[in-house]
Structure 1
Amino acid sequence: MKILRTHLSRIFCLWLAILFLPATVFAHSNSHTVLHLEIKDDQVASLSLEIDLLDLAQILPLDHNRDAKLQLQELNQSREVIQAYILQKLQFNSGEDACAMRFAEKIAGIKYRENIPLVVLNAIINCTSVHPVSGMHFSLFDEIEQSHRGVLNVSGSGNTGQLIIGQGSHDLKLQKTAASQQFISFGHEGFLHILEGYDHLAFLLVLLLPLLRLGEIRTQWWKVLGIVTAFTVAHSITLSLVALGKISLPSGPVEIVIAASVLLAAMLNIVKPRMNVGWKIAYAFGLIHGFGFAGALAEISANETPGLMSLFGFNLGVELGQLAVVLVMFPLMMLISAKQKLVRYFVPVSSLLVGILASSWILERVMNNI
């Protein structure tokens, strides 16, 4: 009996460990370098760079008067230092031949994206080869531990598309950015986003908790499928509509409602333990969660309008990540559902803890929007 209790307690702790993954992911904000590359002819391309000034200031001494404010005049004083850093971290090539990058005499200016200052630089890329720019090395800010992405927009010479470049050092081929590379790039980002999207996963997993009361979960797999499918269909609808510019909602209220949906689902598990409406709640609030996914897609792409391949890739990545989590959880759910004495306490206690966490999210998000 003692061995059984020990076994059950380990199952319970494992489940809670999965449910309560570090919630600090919400404090994380991705920074971006946006690159607009226009291939004009076989030997020349123009480049416009929008670089996160806060990241740049972590690496280079830019604040000459030490007033904790960076002005355009100070940036122009540091122009050569900034350009040298970029040349070290960003190179273009045409086949085996390196291309030369020449910057404009002055920094173009400072712009803001969601209150984040970006320094704008323009450059001309000259290739000695008769072939156009075909490759790029990108390692900007790879020395910073936080997540920094590059967003590359390519146009001209019959090559149009957008790529997301992750943290670290990357060597990219630019000849086929329009289709498969876009799809894979955004699919990878969608997969990572759902794994970091703790509120979305908490909502889905809390909806699955009541199924444990129905006996061994392996005989209820179709109900698991129904909840997951309803959530998938709903958030795919609003994600697509928002990304295509058909509808929009302000992100602040959306994030509050998403947190509230987690709280509602958790509380229903306690006050209405026999109510079998999981798929209906999954669909209804899944529509709101879709707005959250759309906001993440906009952030990842630095508010550049995504193409259809980018949208489909991101959405598929989200679904694959969601499916991976459910498949990992299912064996654990099977173990728990086979012990109905454990389920009697497990479902309400887990729901209560998730509800408390969701309440803290609501409070935090309300305060952030005041």
Structure 2
Amino acid sequence: MSRINYWRFERPLKLWSLSIMLLLSVFILLNSPTSSAHQFSTAHAKLEPNGENQYQGYLALSLQDIQQALSIDPNNDGKLLWQEVINSMPNIEGYLTNNLTIWHKPLNPQDTAVTCQINWSKAPKLSELYGETLLQIPLTAVCPEQEAAVDQLSLQYSAFFDILNDHKLLLTWSFNEGETYFIVDNAKQITSLPFVTSSVLDTIHFYLYQGVIHIWFGLDHVLFVFALILPFAWLRFRQGRYSGTKSLALKDLLVLITSFTLAHSITLTLTALNVLSIPSQWAEIGIAISVAFTAINIITHWVKRLGIITFLFGLLHGMGFAGALSELGLSKTYKISSIVAFNLGVEIGQVAIIFLLYPLLTRLRKTQVLQYRLVPTLAVLIAIMGGYWIVERL
């Protein structure tokens, strides 16, 4: 009986296969995200009551976003000076006034809503918030007195959405020593700020959802998980190593994923609690290396037992997750609950990805032609993407 040689392709890839791989590689590189798969255009805001019918807080914005919207660098030399920012404040404040509306929502829908006046009277400053340097602009909102009963405060924010597709506002509403968190991701969204103290369940729901969303939109994490489980589509992989067996054991796959989960849970928690800290750039480079190495290893088999290397790479990914969590900010009232909920959300998103891909792995395993052409093609494309991120993040 002839024996399949599992250590190399059964037949060489034809010219058309190589052409497809090259075209797909070029397409991915031309349409790839920016160097960090986690850095989106993000603004931050905080608002809290400050006496009757008055509110105070701030907007914290990226200078890069402001430059893109308003061109506040007059000589276009790429070096934004603080004096140039100060000189541009009237334009910045005018832009924000036109794109931020706050009003009291009446309890009776038939009553007229009253719009609050927004003031930018205090001086701005540069602040280190959520892991990046932002222009923090203090604001106050004064709402006229009204006879109608007020149900809640409403807010509509529309800045930057017309020029930045990935822009979002992370809003913290403080009330009675409790904090509620909101995300504004489109210009038409109206956010309702209730006059009640947030509960731990509200906090858990927010961070759980954000954990799921983060891994689904974190392309480097998704590709790493895909590269990690792709070997299970090959006949020669079982029990965490290349062996030549024909069985596809879900439990073996789950062992690797559990190793990855345990590792990134450790570093996510330690980093979020400020026990562990490394420059975010190095963590992002390490994540990119993990993507490229894991993909290349599908073809080269440098490492046959993936449990240990998966755990080590998981430590790096945990730091990446922690960076996203720091961008959101931790609940002061429910700090541990925030970390646990975000981590659990990441796990839910990760498991969803695996179970969506598992039928594909099973299908590939049943078709030898697909195995020996599609699997290495996918591995090469993932490796190219990982290599691209390495160069971009250096």
Do these two structures clear the TM 0.5 threshold for a shared fold by scoring above it?
A: yes
| CA distance in structure 2 between the partners assigned to 1:67 and 1:360 by the alignment | 28
Tell me which residue corresponds to 1:339: 367
Indicate the residue corresponding to 1:118 in structure 2.
Answer: 135
Aligned-residue sequence identity (percent) comes to 29
Deviations along 1:138-158, one digit per CA (max 9) or x if unpaired, are 222222233222122232434
Q: CA deviation at 1:294?
A: 0.8
Alignment of 1:1-370 (within 5 A): 24-27=32-35, 29-60=39-70, 62=72, 79=89, 81-96=91-106, 97-105=113-121, 107-111=123-127, 118=135, 120-126=137-143, 128=145, 134-175=153-194, 177-214=198-235, 219-272=248-301, 275=304, 277-301=305-329, 307-365=335-393, 368=394
Shift of 1:336: 0.7
- Unaligned 5+ runs, structure 2: 1-15, 107-112, 237-244
Residues 258, 52 of structure 1: alpha-carbon distance in 2 compared, 3 angstrom cutoff = closer
Preserved CA contact (<8 Å) 1:47 1:125: no
Report Cα offsets for 1:91-131 as digits up to 9, x if no partner: 22333243523414454345566775525233243352575
One-letter code aligned to 2:285: I
Query: Which whole-Å CA distance do the structure 2 matches of 1:351 and 1:74 have between them?
Result: 48
Tell me the alpha carbon deviations over residues 257-306 of structure 1, each in whole angstroms, 9 at most, x when there is no partner: 2222233323433343893x3344322321221011111222344x9979
Match of 2:178, SS state, is coil
For structure 1, the residue ranges without an aligned partner over 5 or more in a row are 1-8
Deviation at 1:35, TM superposition (A): 1.5
Closer, same or farther: CA 109–271 of 1 in aligned 2, 3 Å: closer
Q: Contact 2:152–2:192 at 8 Å: present in 1 too?
A: no
CA contact (8 A) 2:117 2:142 kept: yes
TM-score, normalization: structure 1? 0.77
Q: Would the alpha carbon gap of residues 245 and 78 (structure 1) be closer, same or farther in structure 2, given more than 3 Å must change?
A: closer
Would you say how many aligned residue pairs link Structure 1 and Structure 2?
352
Distance 1:17 1:226 in 2: 32
Deviation at 1:81, TM superposition (A): 4.5
Q: Hey, what's the Cα distance between the residues in 2 that align with 1:356 and 1:171?
A: 41
CA contact (8 A) 1:79 1:107 kept: no
1:3 corresponds to = none
Equivalent-residue separation in structure 1 for 2:121 and 2:353 (angstroms): 51
Question: What amino acid maps onto 1:100 in structure 2?
Answer: C
Match of 1:4 in 2: none
Q: Partner amino acid for 2:342?
A: F
1:44 counterpart letter in structure 2: Q
Deviation at 1:63, TM superposition (A): 5.5
Shift of 1:208: 1.5
After superposition, give the CA deviation of every residue in 1:216-274 in whole Å (9 maximum; x if it has no partner).
99842222222223222321222122112222222222222222223332343334389
Say whether the 8 Å CA contact 1:42–1:132 is kept in structure 2.
no
Change (3 A) 1:217 1:162: farther
The CA deviation at 1:337 is 0.2
Q: Cα offset for 1:338?
A: 0.5
Conserved in 2, the CA contact under 8 Å of 1:217 and 1:334? no
CA displacement 1:284-336 (0-9 Å, x = unmatched): 321221011111222344x9979344433432332232223222222211111
Change (3 A) 1:33 1:348: closer
* Contact kept in structure 1, 2:41 and 2:164, CA below 8 Å: no
CA contact (8 A) 1:212 1:333 kept: yes
CA distance in 1, matches of 2:323, 2:275: 14
User: What is the CA–CA distance in structure 2 between the aligned matches of 1:293 and 1:312, rounded to whole Å?
Assistant: 12
Q: CA RMSD in A?
A: 3.8
Greater shift, 108-117 or 154-163, is seen at 108-117
CA contact (8 A) 1:164 1:186 kept: no
Q: Which has the higher helix share?
A: 1
In the superposition, the TM-score normalised over structure 2's length comes to 0.73
1:27 alignment partner, SS class: coil
